[in-house]
Structures are given as C-alpha cells and as structure tokens.
Chains A and B, each alone.
Chain A
Amino acid sequence: MSLGYPPPLAEIVEFFDGLGEDEKRENLIAYADAAEGCGPKPGEGFDLTDERKDEECTDTVGVFLRVDPATRAAHFRIRLGPHVQTLTKAMAAILCKGLDGATPEQILEVAQDFVPRIVGGNLVRVRSQTVYYILTRLKGACQVWLQRERAAR
C-alpha cells in the first residue's frame, strides 16, 4: 500500500516494490545518474534556497524550492556535491520527481517508511542512513516556506 504518498512518489514506490534486489540496484543507479539533472536550471527563480554542508552528510546539498502561488504545488531542484553517496543521489532524483506538484503540507506528511521499500533491506544499514537525509532537508524547506507564508499574512 502506498496510501498517503503523493501520486508520483506512490508510483515509484510501487514500481520498486515489484523489483528484486539486483533490479532495485540497477534502477537506483539510473536514478543516481539522473541526479545531476535535478539541479537548478539557468533562469529559474525560487522562493527558497538552502545550500549547505551538514555534519551528517559527506558533501554539500542544495535545496531549491518554488511553490506555485495559485495551486500551492511545490517544485524542487536539488544540487549535490560530488562526494555525496550514490544512494543519496538516487534518493534526491526520486524525491525531485516523486514530490513534484505536492503541496508543502502534503510533503510534511510524507512518512519515511517508503525508503526501505525503494532501497531494499540489503542497502539500508549503518553507513547508508544518509538516504533519509534528503527527505529531511526537503521537509525543512517546506517548513520554512510555510512559516514565511504565515508571517506574511
């Protein structure tokens, strides 16, 4: 079941659910390869930019958030430093796609229990916990955006 996930994320989770460990790895690599294309494009504007290097991640992670004022649909761009782990790169690409169009409130409600369903039990372990980090950063951006929205009223 993927109840509670935004539809694009639910679709990705269900796709990975049906894969064996080897196929999961192949698809995670494909998403990791795609992460490079998830960064901000020239000319794009954002409501919130949060680019920093945290203690719990091996390199810089930049989160760029734009929320459509009419529909409240959120759109993310994510820029990763070269030393970010492959799983984290894959999760960045998955979340860029899977959360696209959801509202900030919906994103804050997304439970992290989808991560092992995508990644598989063999890859979630000590030294791969930063796979959860990207979701935390995206939720953090949504929280800040909502706080600013409330303050502006």
Chain B
Amino acid sequence: MNAKFADYAHPEALVDGAWLQEHLTDPSLRIVESNEDVLLYDTGHIPGAVHIDWRGDLQDNTVRDYIAPEKFAEVCSKNGITPQTTVVFYGDKANWWATYALWAFRLFGHDKVKILDGGRDKWKAENRPMTREKPTPARTQYPVPAARKDAEIRAFFEDALAFSKAHKPLIDVRSPKEYTGETTHMPEYPQEGVLRGGHVPGARSVPWKTAANDDGTFKSAAELKKIYTENLGLEPASEIIAYCRIGERSSHTWFVLTYLLGYTKVRNYDGSWTEWGNRVRAPVAKGDQPG
C-alpha cells in the first residue's frame, strides 16, 4: 500500500497508479472514469475503464435530482457492476467528478468504492497505459436498491438553512472570490446562471483545493487534520454540510472528510450555490467573514 494512505481513516478508499495498473484485469473491480470534459473519455482512458457521465447517467435530466433506483440498477448492469464489485473511480479536475460519482453510488448503497489518487492527470503524467478501445463488459443483473439514501449523505436547502440559523458547521468550498460575492462564477468558467453572489450566512470558507496537492493527489492526513480539525475545530462526529456551485467540488471535500479523516456525519448540499443564490429571499452574506 502507498505509505501515505496508511494514515488516513479509511486507507482502503484510495488506490494509486501502481496498484491499479497491477489490477487492470482484476474481475472483482470495475474502473469508472467520470469527467467534466464530456469527450475526454473518448480521447483515451485507462484500459478496461467504462465511462459514467455525471449528467447523462447519474442525474435525472428533467427534474433537478438524481436518477431513481431502477435507473441506477440499469447503469450498473450495463457496465458489468454487481453489488460485490469494487468500483474504482477516477477522472479529470483532480477527481471532482470521480468523487461526485462515488458519492452518487453511495446514495444507492453501493459501498465498495475507491478513488484513484491524483485521477486521470496523474495516471497520464506517470505514462501509464491509455487506450481508445471501449470495453464491453458482460451485462449483470444489479438488484434495484430499495431506496436512495438521501438522508444520510445529502443535504437540501432546508437543511443548509437550518444549519445556518443554528450556527452548525457549513463549509463553502468554492474559490475565495465566489465566497465573498465578488464573482458569481469560478475562475476559468463562464457564468452559470446565478443571480446573487456571496455565501450562506455562517459558512466557513475552505476551498476544495486546500485539500489537494498540485498534482491532484490528496494532501497527507496530518495536513488535512490541520485544515479541518485544528483550524475549523471540527470533530469526527460533527454534523457538517459542504457546498459549492452544483455539488461536484463539495463532493471532493465530502470524500476528504468522510474517507480520509473519518468524519461520520458529513453531507453534500448538491443544490449548492446555484440553488441558494437564485432562491428568493434566501439570506446571503457578503465579504470574507462567515456573517
């Protein structure tokens, strides 16, 4: 095992490139690429990896919500995944969408999940094999999950509002200028339809990038403890809600808190700022203080 992983609360939730390259043909694994760049998988991917698209496969494309359990079972079945399959996620953007897909799998009770530390960029930087050949996994019969476990790891507007009023831990993982309200889009991205800038009153600013190294890998356990445990005063049993704009950057932070630090009550508010910043009469704080 990668020596860095041993200090995390759940070292089994991470793999590195060397390990994954040795397990490319392991029948108990399914490697899943999930990206922001919708065509990136088609330009080349890890041999044997299937593509699961955050929008097309995991979201309900009519209502702003996730797919129903029946659709999740179909997504898994067509990609050769069974409840016993360990799914290894990786992707672009330092694994934003990989952690988002992992979080969505957890919504349906699929707990055998891992992340490739450093994601797609690190795999490529290490000159590990890539292919354009798309795998055709044998279809499985994934049983339809009884329900989606929204209450455990997902937060809604009302939950975030209650946390704000009660001064419970809310973490805004967006860039500093998005937090202060100076901009309504993140750096390098176009405006995505938010009418107000600022943050949820009471939320503390801890950009997602704080938890990542420049190569997209996660920071060490000691560094993460300093950021979240010492600086924010969060305890492993603290109830925490993380948010960003549409829930992908906060999935990264959710993964860090849940798997790397072992916090047990972390929820991702996927409605995030695109819901809060458009909501009529939602309270908004401006500036660099929580408010």
Contacts and interface: CB of A to CB of B under 8 A. Distances in A.
A4 B190 CA distance: 27
Interface of B is mostly: loop
Interface in B185-210: 185, 187-190, 192
Nearest to A133: B190
Contact of A86 (B39, B56, B189, B246): B39
Nearest to A56: B190
A62 B114 CA distance: 39
Nearest to B54: A127
B38 A123 contact: yes
B39 A130 contact: no
A87 interface: yes
27 contacts: A25-B39, A29-B39, A29-B42, A29-B43, A33-B43, A56-B185, A58-B189, A85-B36, A85-B37, A85-B39, A86-B37, A86-B38, A86-B39, A86-B40, A86-B43, A87-B37, A87-B38, A122-B56, A123-B38, A123-B39, A125-B38, A126-B55, A126-B246, A127-B192, A128-B38, A129-B190, A129-B192
Interface string B146-161: 0000000000000000
Nearest to B186: A55
B188 A28 contact: no
Categorize the interface residue count of chain B: 10 to 19
Interface residues of A, number: 23
Interface of A: 25-26, 28-29, 32-33, 55-58, 85-87, 90, 122-123, 125-130, 133
B137 to A, nearest CB: 18
Most chain B beta-carbon contacts within 10 A, residue among A28, A55, A57: A55
Interface of B: 36-40, 42-43, 55-56, 185, 187-190, 192, 246
B44 to A, nearest CB: 10
A96 to B, nearest CB: 18
B189 A56 contact: yes
B39 A87 contact: yes
Contact of B39 (A55, A57, A90): A90
A126 B39 contact: no
Most chain B beta-carbon contacts within 10 A, residue among A58, A86, A90: A86
Contacts of A32: 39, 43
